[in-house]
Amino acid sequence: MNGKITVALVLALTAVAAAGYLFFAKSRTHTPLSVTLRISVTPPEQSGFVAEQARSTKFKYIMGKESGLKPAFAQKLAVKDTPNSPIVEAQVGVETKEEAKKYADAFVPALQMLCGKDVQLALTEQKVE
Q: Is domain 31-128 annotated with CATH 3.30.70.1130?
A: yes
Instruction: Please report the pLDDT score of residue 116 as a whole number.
Output: 94
Domain boundaries, the chain: 1-30, 31-128
The one-letter amino acid at 110: A
pLDDT of amino acid 36: 95
Q: What local confidence, expressed as pLDDT, does residue 7 receive?
A: 75
pLDDT of residue 56: 94
Q: For every residue of the chain, which 3-state class applies, written as one string?
A: CHHHHHHHHHHHHHHHHHHHHHHHHHHHHCCCEEEEEEEEEECHHHHHHHHHHHHCHHHHHHHHHHHCCCHHHHCCCEEEECCCCCEEEEEEEECCHHHHHHHHHHHHHHHHHHHCCCCEEEEEEEEEC
Divide the 129 residues of the chain into consecutive groups of 10 and give the mean pLDDT of each group. Answer: 77 75 63 89 94 94 86 85 90 89 93 95 93
